[in-house]
Each structure stands twice: as C-alpha cells, then as structure tokens.
Structure 1
Amino acid sequence: MSTQASETDGWAGVRKGRPQVGAFAERSHRTRSEDIVAFTEMTGDRNPLHYDRAAAEASIFGRLIVQGGVTSGILNAVVAEDLPGPGSVFLEVHWKFVKAVGVGELITGRVEVVDVRADKPITRIETSVRNEAGEVCLTGTATVYTVPLD
C-alpha cells in the first residue's frame, strides 16, 4: 500500500511512507446515543433532532439522527490511523452530507488516494461514508498533510 520515501523527497520520516494512488482504507462504527452526548459535550450542539425523539420522528428524518460531526468523524480515524496514517491531519475538506445517519446505524468511512505530492507529504483523497444498506451519507474530497514522526 505504500513505498518508502528517499531522504530527498517530502515523505522522508513518514511512518508508513508515501501512499500510492488507488490505495484505500475503510473503518466501520455503529452509532450510539453516547456518540451524540460526547459530541454535544465537545461542541454544545443540542439540536432537538439529536435529543427530542418526538420532534425527530415528526421531522423529515423520522428518527433521532447523529450530528454531522459524528458522521464525518469516522473519516478522521481512517486518515489518522490507516491511510495515510499516523501524523496525518486534514488541510482542507469538501464534504456533502447527502443522507442523515440515525442512532444505531452501522456506518463505514472510506478514503481513497487520488493524488500524492512527491515534494511534500500531502495527499488528496476521495472520501465517503455509507450506511449498512450501502447508501452514501457523506461524499467529497479532502487534502491531508502527514507530519513526519520518526
């Protein structure tokens, strides 16, 4: 999935080396009410669609939904842990939330490398989050910088 960098390019010192175009990684998580509470503790987002079952069920969503940050958060884990890997942070994201994620849904975040700079540890990736029915919930692109850690 990756190749080692030479001392003269921008990938020297990156733990997993330079990723290859076409490489991908996925991670799954079943959403829980606890995710909503944890996200609220971090952000203060107390939207009734996340907490008021009656209001959420009467809405277009028909159920309690998790915050968008919970949905996109799985991509943080994929990028930081899997591809490109440790030391990676988002520089820029372009995401479209196309389907709400309900409490109890299994979501899978996926990143795929579409471009890798040779002079700097910067990767452009396609991103998506799908539910267990395979429906796209989030789609878009991101640019990631990987800090050399060694």
Structure 2
Amino acid sequence: MANVKDGWRGVLNGKPEVGAFAERSRTTRMEDIQAFTAMTGDRNPVHYDEALAKKTAFGKLIVQGGVTTGILNACVAEDLPGPGTVFLNTSLDFRKAVGVGETITGRVEVASVRDDKPICQLKVSVRDSAGDICVEGTATTYTMPLEGL
C-alpha cells in the first residue's frame, strides 16, 4: 500500500472530524449595509429605501446577501476548520431575506475530510431567530498550516 501523506500536519486545530460543527450568531445592523456598500458599491434600494422596501415581497429593509453569508466566513476562519482556512468553493441557495435588526446564526458542519490534503467539504447554513433557513448550501475549504510561521 502506498504511503499516504498527512496533509493536516501543522494545522493549528488539527484534522476535523466528520460531523463536527460550529455556530456563530450576530444581530444585523444598518451599519452592516453601509459597510458592505462602501466595499462593493451595492446601493440597491431594498437596502436603503424603507418605503420602497415595505412594498416589496420582503416587506422590510433587507441586508445584502454578502452580509448574511459573511457569518460563514467567521465560522470557517475562526472556528471550524479554524485559523488559516479559506474557501475554495461555495454553492449557496438564498431562501429567505434577512432584515435589519434580525439575529442570524451561521453553522458549518464537516461532511467529509481528505487525509492527503487539508481540504474539507462542509454543509453550511444561516438561520434567523425563528429557526428558518435563510441560506443553505455546501462549501469546500482549504486550511493552510500556520504552525511554525
């Protein structure tokens, strides 16, 4: 049998286990919309014009999708797999808009782990305080070894 290289050597949190998960919660703010607009230029009126937003199917001002999914970045980079982790791929379905002042919870769960490289397949989701799914999908991550740098 060929010798399998341990691709997780030097990774701060070590190799994660299938089924492990991490969650983070936060409450969205108007400042999130403004910061996202400053970064991207997204000034869609459904984020700024309350009178117009109330007439839409959303019925309220909503935060940009990037604000909603940003919590997943924190889950991946800070918690699981952890420091040094970046996304290689994401596939996300947006199911429910998130309004200003809503508390959301991002969750990442390890679906599979490669032995030869520090790569994981994750199930990802963002839920609102009622437990409704706002975003769900999958992600592939790569975790860079940081020990010894």
Q: TM-score, normalized by length of structure 1?
A: 0.95
Equivalent residue for 2:28? 31
Q: Secondary structure at the match of 1:148?
A: coil
Deviation at 1:46, TM superposition (A): 0.2
Deviation at 1:42, TM superposition (A): 0.5
Equivalent residue for 2:84? 87
Superposed CA RMSD in Å reads 0.5
Letter in 2 for 1:50: H
Deviation at 1:25, TM superposition (A): 0.2
Once residues 33 and 146 of structure 2 are traced to their aligned partners in structure 1, the CA distance between those partners, rounded to angstroms, is 32
Deviation at 1:56, TM superposition (A): 0.4
Letter in 2 for 1:142: A
Structure 1 runs of 4+ with >3 Å offset: none
Equivalent residue for 2:14? 17
Equivalent residue for 2:115? 118
Once residues 92 and 145 of structure 1 are traced to their aligned partners in structure 2, the CA distance between those partners, rounded to angstroms, is 10
Letter in 1 for 2:87: F
How many residues are paired up? Answer: 143
Q: Secondary structure at the match of 1:18?
A: coil
Once residues 17 and 132 of structure 1 are traced to their aligned partners in structure 2, the CA distance between those partners, rounded to angstroms, is 32
Q: TM-score, normalized by length of structure 2?
A: 0.95
Stretches of structure 2 lacking an aligned partner (at least 5 in a row) = none
Once the two structures are aligned, what percentage of the paired residues are identical?
68
Equivalent residue for 2:67? 70
